[in-house]
Amino acid sequence: ANAAGKQIGLVIDLTATQKYYDPREWTDSGIKYEKIWCTGHHLHVQMENIQKFYNIVSDFLSKYIHTGQLIGVHCTHGLNRTGYMICRYLIEVDGWDVNNAIEQFEYCRGYKIERKNYIDSLRNDCVRGKYASLSVKYPGKPSDGIINKQLAQLKNVLPCIDLNEFAAAI
């Protein structure tokens, strides 16, 4: 992130373990850290975790969007749970089209979401704009189907971060 002139302000850990690192590595550096215990393969039915993710992201954005800080989201491989949560947020909170959300994530991440059940859930279970009241408005916000400069920069940011496939930023 630093190589691209960006700073991470929040890390959301979606793993179901504590073995990868000590969260104090983030918090001691002034970076906020949130843990959402998500088991793999079945995240799409863990509504409490999905709602918690929405609230954490929206709360951070409402307080810190003016700083330009990024939100780092990761799971074990930085792909399936991470992609699912980010796409679902874009669809249900920010009102994005399902296909555009998936395409944007996969473009920025550089890999496709592999879990068919997650893709199916995004296509069949998500209600576009269902939680629009949580959406945070700000100048230059990426909109449905548009890769703006900030999102395009993420493709260059992500390979620079080596945290067991540190995944993406919203």
- List the catalytic residue out of 75, 87, 108, 126: 75
CA gap 85, 51 in Å, rounded: 10
Q: Find tokens 């992500």 and name the residue.
A: 158
- List the catalytic residue out of 81, 88, 109, 115: 81
> Is 75 considered catalytic here?
yes
> Is 81 considered catalytic here?
yes
The residues annotated with a catalytic role in the active site are 75, 81
